[in-house]
Amino acid sequence: MIVQDNPTGTERFVMTMDQHTAFASRLAEEFGNDKFASIENEPLRYVIANHDAGWKQVDPDVHINPASGFPYHLSETPFEYASLTMRGSPDFNAKHGALSGLLSSMHTTGLLNGRYGLAPPGIMARLEGDKKPFAESVLAGELARQNKLKTVISVDETFVWNAYKHLQFFDMLSLYFHSRAEGSRGTERFPDVPTHNGDDVTVTISEGIHRTYALDPFPFKKSGVKISFFGRWVSPVAATENGRTAFEAAVIASQTTTLLAG
């Protein structure tokens, strides 16, 4: 799950990973203009919408962090739960097709290793003890999966890496909104976003007023597009309460963003 920070209140906006990936998919639908190619490839669109599908094994149980009383945030989820998703997401996407499975597997290996340079050091750098050998086995398994899938896909390596970079852009831009509360999102830069002419650029997003966000260069079809995402406002859960029951009792709510040309 994703637990949004909330500097000014006790409740937190909590999202399942399905809600997170649904927003990423909406971003992909709106992506594209005279500088950025729209996302037309169906296997890529599929994996953008399902890149965290392995969390379906974890999110329904609503594991509570005893230190906060809220569900575990994505990056704080105990390894025994998070590890289920590392193979689970590629397994799910590979059933759809080889390219979707390859990109999902690359997403897993990228998260283990800092998104291939697009982000700070990844999960592997933080693991200790017996968790690291397990992660290394996951990494080796996914690299073997990728080598196998590459033999049956019909696109070249340049396309694959551009597709991977698109997936990371939609994921990281979604996390910009989902992990931080309105008013605390600030400015962030997303490197290596592919353009029409084959060059990669850094897209900068800056938070404005009234839920507006300026992007430069602007990668979407039209300035002023509004996109919503969904979650639940959740209060801390006592140790005696059932996390799933408390989460499902909370009312589903939404937050809306307006994307502007910077």
Q: What is the pLDDT of residues 115-150, one digit of tens each?
A: 887 887 777 777 778 788 888 898 999 999 999 999
Which pLDDT band holds residue 77 (cuts at 50, 70, 90)? very high
Reading the block at residue 165, the tokens are 């970079």
Whether the predicted pLDDT of 238 surpasses 90: no
Give the whole-angstrom CA distance, residue 58 versus residue 193.
31
Where are the chain's structural domains?
2-261
Whether the predicted pLDDT of 113 surpasses 90: no
Give the whole-angstrom CA distance, residue 181 versus residue 3.
10
Q: Of residues 10 and 160, which shows the higher confidence score?
A: 160
To the nearest whole percent, how much of the chain has pLDDT over 90?
83
Give the whole-angstrom CA distance, residue 51 versus residue 20.
10
pLDDT at 243: 92
pLDDT at 121: 76
Burial 15-44 (b: 16+ CB within 10 A, else e): bbbebbbbbbbbbbbbbbbeebbebebebb
pLDDT digits (tens, 9 = 90+) for 46-59: 999 999 999 999 99
pLDDT digits (tens, 9 = 90+) for 244-257: 999 999 999 999 99
pLDDT at 100: 98
Give the whole-angstrom CA distance, residue 16 versus residue 176.
15
pLDDT at 158: 95
- Return phi, psi of residue 56, to 5°: -60, -20
Q: Is the peptide bond before 236 cis (omega within 30 degrees of 0)?
A: no
pLDDT at 124: 77
For residues 202 and 193, is the Cβ–Cβ distance under 8 A?
yes
Give the whole-angstrom CA distance, residue 112 versus residue 80.
15
Q: What average pLDDT is seen over the chain?
A: 94
Which pLDDT band holds residue 34 (cuts at 50, 70, 90)? very high
pLDDT at 166: 98
- Return phi, psi of residue 16, to 5°: -80, 165
Q: Burial level of 162, CB count in 10 A (0-12/13-18/19+)?
A: buried
Whether the predicted pLDDT of 24 surpasses 80: yes
Give the whole-angstrom CA distance, residue 215 versus residue 3.
24
pLDDT at 129: 80
Q: Of the given ranges (26-40, 68-82, 196-210), which has the lowest mean pLDDT?
A: 68-82
The pTM assigned to this predicted structure is: 0.94
Return the number of other C-beta atoms located less than 10 Å from residue 232's C-beta.
Answer: 20
- Return phi, psi of residue 85, to 5°: -80, -20
For residues 20 and 188, is the Cβ–Cβ distance under 8 A?
no
CA angle, corner 173, sides to 186 and 254, nearest 5?
A: 85
